[in-house]
Each structure stands twice: as C-alpha cells, then as structure tokens.
Structure 1
C-alpha cells in the first residue's frame, strides 16, 4: 500500500507507516533541513532493503561526506522528497512530480498534518491577534485538494489538541470546517485525542488524530490497546554516557552496558553499537545555577521550580505571572516526561536533565528517544554542517514513530478485513 506524506517534517509519522509495511511514494515539506533528513532516511531504507547499510553507517559517523553518500543513492529516492510549500503556486508542480514517481501505482493513503501553530492554545495566547489572519489556519484546504486529486482509501491528519477549540474571528470552528470540506471530497472523518503515553512512549503528548475513509460510514476509527511499559523516564538515559554542558559528539557515541528491555522493545535500540547527536548545549553559569536549583527542588520533595523562587540576580524576565514553570526537569522517576515541542530548539530550560552532576539540558538524541525515534535516525541541517538547533526543531514537531506504527498497523488490519 502506497502513501504520500504532506507537511512531512522529519518523517516521524512516515517512519511508523514504513515499519508497518507501507511504501512511501513522496514526502512534501517546506523546510530544507527536514527535507535533508527525509532524503537521508530514504537512503537508509533503500540501503537496508539492498542489504548494503555500510555507506549509511560511514556517513552518520562522518567517514564520508553527504555529497559522497548521496551519490550512492538512486535519483528517484532523492527526488521523492519534494522541497516546496503546498499551495496554489506549487500544487501542479507537486502533483506532476508525484505522478512521475508513482507511475501507474495508486496512492492508497495520504498522511501528515499542517503546521500546528495557528491552532495551538499557546500560540493563540501569545499572539495579539489570536492567530486570526494567519494563512496556516487554512492549509487544510490544500490538504483537501490532494484528497480530491489522488482519491486515497484513507487519510491520517495529525494536529494539536487546540484544534478542537480554535475558531475563526467570526466564531466558526476550524475543525467543523475541515470535517465539512473532507466530506465534500468524499471522506467521512472521525477523530480522537490520542495520548502517546498509551502507545509505549515515555512522554505526555496529546494529539488530535483525524482519520478519513473514502465513502466511509460511522464507526471505523480503530480501538487501540493501551501499552504501558513498566519503566520510568530514566530508562532512556541508562546506556548513554554522562556528558556535561557543551560536550558530547555529533557523530559517534558508544553505549554503556544496558540490561533492560524497553529500548529494544520500543525499537529505539535496533542493532547498532553506537548512536549519534548526543551533544549537549553549552550553558551560561547563571543557567547552570538555575538548573541545579530545579533538580534539587525535584529531588527534595518532587516540587517544580517556580520562576519567582529563583534568586533575583538570575531573573531576566519581567513577566513573573505567566509561564512561571519555564525551567523544568525531565524527571527520571516519572513514567513519562513533559511534551517535547519545537521550542526546545530555542533553549533547553524546559528540558533539564535529571542528573545534577551533568547539569545541562537534554541532547538531541535524548529528546529523540523520548519521541521513540530509533538511534540510527539522523537529523540533518540545511547545509552539510550538522545543526543541533535544526535537529531539535524537527524532533519537537514530529509524531512519535512508535505511535505512528500502531496507527498504521490498525489501519492495515482494517483494509485487510475489508
């Protein structure tokens, strides 16, 4: 079964569908760094399929350049990643590219969700216009054009919970507008709030997942078995070497001994004897002082640090009433962490490592593990130079692959039963 992924980001949703046996025909994404990540991952899957993974391992360990690595990959694999904004200006070009890639094959699924900032409760609270007039509010109309053109059996549309309450300036519900439009295109759509922590992901992440079925009738939305690993968040740190702020390695990090099973069962560890991008941000002495306060407060009674509790000499924000939890420990003794969001690319204050000796924020690899990206998944920058910021942004915007795989498996069952 073939799919195309719109607004792909780094491809977390796609990764889950590929694991389930679906075949990607194309990914469409506006961000150059994310497109490079998608090409690198497409190359990985191609080489794995041809039983020749060594060039990929050489590349992510910096033994060969990206140019050298990409030269080993067929053009159609690289061309399957389309770096264009979706909209009237480019849709015809995108359709033509996808049509040349698929040949006579059908598109059975469309997956992906438009950028969520316009529907986000936080985004609306911070914007003086409540995000009214933001063009991203209406990207679902572009999504519908792809449904109309390709007529897939199903679509999967992911977005933030804020979508349920987002309204136009006139008071109309964006969600209802979506449902009506998708129905016009021939798709009955159902939706639920799905929680990543119920899929074996060690993260408190809620998302609205809309599933549309061509000529569908009520009651097709899958039921998912609840998976709750008997581990805490500390599991994702256990086999990674301790590093301090400003240290680590973009390319090769060898594991410490690990006697657990979660990292293998979740497919985070998948056969390699190393991982990449375990490199910590440098932090100012002031930030490191605040991080220590936050960790001590958690260790001594499970209390979160309130911004107003920080010594006055370290307070740099005038607003002391909103977002007072802007410094937050990723508590290793809880069953799941706070939600990983794209803001992690700006600073690490909301994602403080629980080990006071390391005294730093999370690395990209640690954040990726909380999202259940496999350790061999490499996040690219816009240029050949690696970028921690670009990696964080892609990780924060992604759908956890473990959750995506469960959704794909259930939909595959539905199709086979039909």
Structure 2
C-alpha cells in the first residue's frame, strides 16, 4: 500500500507507516533542514535493504560527507522528498512531481494520505500569545490544501493529525469546515484523541487523530484500542546507556556505556548491533542558568516540588514579572515520563532540565529524540537548533506505527 506524507516534518509519521509495511511514495515538506533529514532517512533504508549500511555509518562517523552519502542513492529515492511549501502557487508543481513518481512506482495509485498541517495556528498556547489569537494566520487554512490532495488522488483512506486546540480553533468552525469538505468529497471521518503515553511513548502527548474512509468502499472503522502498552518504564531506563554530559558538551560515536536494556529494546531505539551514538549534544548554558538548574533539581529531588519563578533567589531573577509564566523552569522526572515535547526546546532548554544533578544541564538532542521514540539510527540534519525543532514538531514514530497498523487492518478487510 502506497501513501503520501504531507507536511512531513522530520518524518515521524512516515517512519511509523513504513514500519507497518506501507510504501512512502512522497514526503512533502517545506523546511530545508527537515527535508534533508527525510532524504538521509531514505538513504538509511536504501542502504540497509542493499546490505550497505556501512556507508551510512561512515557518514555518521564523519568519514564521508552528505554529498558522498547521497551519491550512493538513486535519484528516484531522493526525489521522493519534495521540499516545497504547499500553496495555491505550488500545488500543481507538487502534483506533477508526485505524478512522475507514480509513473515509476510498482503501484500507480495512492492508497493513503497522511499528515497534519503545522499546529501552531490551532495551538491554544499560540493563540494566547498573540493579540489577534492567530485568526489571520495563513496556517489556519492549510487543511484546505490537504483536502486538495484528497480530491486529486482519491486515496482509500487518510490520516489527519493535529493538536487538541483544533477543537476550539475559531470557535470550532475549522473542524466543522473540515468535516463539511470531507463529506462533500465522499469520505466519512472519525475523530479520536490519543495520548502517546498510552501506547508506550515515555511522554504525555495528547493529539487529535482524524481518520477518513472513502464512502464507496463500504469499509467500517476499527476502533483505536488505547489499552495501555506501557511497561512501567521511566526516563532513567530510557537514557541508561547514554554517557554523562556537562552543559555544552558532546559525546558521539562508539561511546555507549551499557548494552541496551529492556526499555530501549522494547521501544526499538537500538536495533541489534547498532553501536553509533549521534546528537548526544547538550547546549551551553551561562552560569546564572546553571545555578537556577541546580536549585530546581535539588528542590525536585528533595521535595518532589517544581520551583516557581517567583520562588527563585532575587539575584537569579532576570524578569520583573513574577505573576505570570511562573513555570519557566521544569525538571524532568527520572522516575516518571516526560511532559509534552514541543519545538520551543530549540530556543532554550529551561522546560527540559535533566534530573541528574551531576550533569546540571538541559537534555541533549538524542535524549529528546528518545522521548519522542525516534531510534538512535535516525539522524537529524543541520544544526542543534534545527534538530530540536524537528524533534519537537514530530509525531512519535511509535504512535504513528500504532495508527498505521489500525489502518492496515481496516484496508486488509477488503481485497482491492
């Protein structure tokens, strides 16, 4: 079965659907760094399939550059990544590129479309920060572009992923309009709320999943079964094999300090024989931040209490506002799971302070990636800031795989 991933980001949805056996015909993504990450992931899969994974490892170890890595990969594989912003001005060009990919595919039809428009315009936090509550944000209407792909390719099903704020966006009018347009196209849709932690991701992450089926297929939805698959793993288990870091430090290469434990194995973070750690890089912090981190971690360890900004010593406060946004600093719980990973981690790590007092820093890129359930062989391209942004915006691959298996079960009930 063949699918297109719209607004693909770093490829969390694609990764999950690929694991479930879907072929990703095309990834559409406007961000150049995320698009390179998608190409590098396609390179990984191609080289693994052709028993040449040593070439990918050479790239991760810095023995060859990206251009050399891509030279090993056929253009038809790299061309699956279409780096364009989806708009009225570009959509026909994107359609043409997809059509060319379809000509060379074993299956010349699109069975499934997946993706979710950027969520900032629907986010309640985003609306709260801006005076016009993002009513004039063009991203509010990217769902219309998504629906144009449904109209063009008539897939059997679709998946539309987004934040809970889509329910209240423009007082519910956005979701109403999606439902109206979908119905007119001949699809029925089902709306579910999922929490990634219910299916094993070590993070509280609630999302809206809209599943759609073409009416003429006479297929019924199979309920998304949210019975907990978590095995009482905690963040301490998730990071057990990673070397200790100081703020501003990096430890990459063949530097794992332990073999993978049950948690790491069950989440498929280190496949058998994988020995190269990448992006275990932590951002540098100034002395004031490190003093604040230390106090926050000590308070959490001693009292299981999160320190509010107005409870910091006066000499460590840099803002006069001590009435709002008091939870500027947040320590992750070694003995629990993480709160929601968001793209703001690219700006600072104050909301993701490492719980180990000896390390006294915010979490590394790889630690964040593991919270999102990305495997260690997943490489994020370009800068640390770009990597954090991609991770914060992503759909956890384990959540994507869970949804993909549900879609697969629905479609396999009928022979096409």
TM-score interval for Structure 1 and Structure 2 normalised by the shorter chain: over 0.9
Shift of 1:234: 1.1
- C-alpha offsets along residues 344-369 of structure 1, whole Å, 9 cap, x if unaligned? 00000000000011000000000000
Distance 1:185 1:319 in 2: 50
- C-alpha offsets along residues 33-92 of structure 1, whole Å, 9 cap, x if unaligned? 000000000111111111211111110111100111111110111111001110110000
Corresponding residue of 1:364 = 365
Corresponding residue of 1:16 = 16
Corresponding residue of 1:73 = 73
Distance 2:184 2:290 in 1: 55
Shift of 1:193: 0.8
Match of 1:310 among 312, 315, 318: 312
Confirm or deny that 1:130 pairs with 2:133.
Answer: yes
Report if the CA contact (8 A) 2:269-2:375 is conserved. Answer: yes
Corresponding residue of 1:233 = 235
Corresponding residue of 2:323 = 321
Match of 2:407 among 408, 411, 416: 411
TM-score, structure 1 normalization: 0.95
Shift of 1:224: 3.8
Describe the shift of the 1:62–1:259 C-alpha distance in structure 2 as closer, same or farther (beyond 3 A): closer
Shift of 1:172: 5.2
Corresponding residue of 1:380 = 381
Corresponding residue of 1:157 = 160
Shift of 1:407: 0.7
SS of 2:119 mapped into structure 1: coil
SS of 1:117 mapped into structure 2: helix
Instruction: Extract unaligned runs of 5+ from structure 2.
Output: none
Distance 1:2 1:172 in 2: 32
Distance 1:33 1:318 in 2: 37
Corresponding residue of 1:384 = none
1:253-264 equivalences under 5 Å are 253-258=254-259, 260-264=261-265
Provide the aligned C-alpha RMSD in A: 1.3
Describe the shift of the 1:208–1:172 C-alpha distance in structure 2 as closer, same or farther (beyond 3 A): closer
Match of 1:288 among 287, 290, 305: 290
Shift of 1:258: 3.8
Equivalenced residues, count: 408
1:47-86 equivalences under 5 Å are 47-86=47-86
1:133-152 equivalences under 5 Å are 133-152=136-155
Report if the CA contact (8 A) 2:117-2:143 is conserved. Answer: yes
Report if the CA contact (8 A) 1:39-1:81 is conserved. Answer: yes
Report if the CA contact (8 A) 1:222-1:411 is conserved. Answer: no
Describe the shift of the 1:146–1:52 C-alpha distance in structure 2 as closer, same or farther (beyond 3 A): same
Distance 2:60 2:108 in 1: 33
TM-score, structure 2 normalization: 0.96
1:113-262 equivalences under 5 Å are 113-167=116-170, 171=171, 173-215=173-215, 219-249=221-251, 251-258=252-259, 260-262=261-263
Shift of 1:397: 0.2
Distance 2:329 2:76 in 1: 45
Deviates more, 1:184-193 or 1:314-323: 314-323
- C-alpha offsets along residues 222-255 of structure 1, whole Å, 9 cap, x if unaligned? 3343211222111112100001001113x51521
Report if the CA contact (8 A) 1:188-1:218 is conserved. Answer: no
Corresponding residue of 1:273 = 275
Report if the CA contact (8 A) 1:13-1:112 is conserved. Answer: yes
Distance 1:49 1:260 in 2: 26
Distance 1:150 1:110 in 2: 9
Match of 1:107 among 110, 128, 138: 110
Distance 2:29 2:412 in 1: 30
Confirm or deny that 1:25 pairs with 2:58.
Answer: no
Distance 2:89 2:223 in 1: 34
Shift of 1:23: 0.3
Report if the CA contact (8 A) 2:296-2:330 is conserved. Answer: yes
- C-alpha offsets along residues 146-190 of structure 1, whole Å, 9 cap, x if unaligned? 0000111111111011111111xxx45211111111111111111
- C-alpha offsets along residues 96-139 of structure 1, whole Å, 9 cap, x if unaligned? 00010111611101001000000000000001100011100000
Deviates more, 1:262-271 or 1:217-226: 217-226
Distance 2:19 2:315 in 1: 51
SS of 1:94 mapped into structure 2: helix
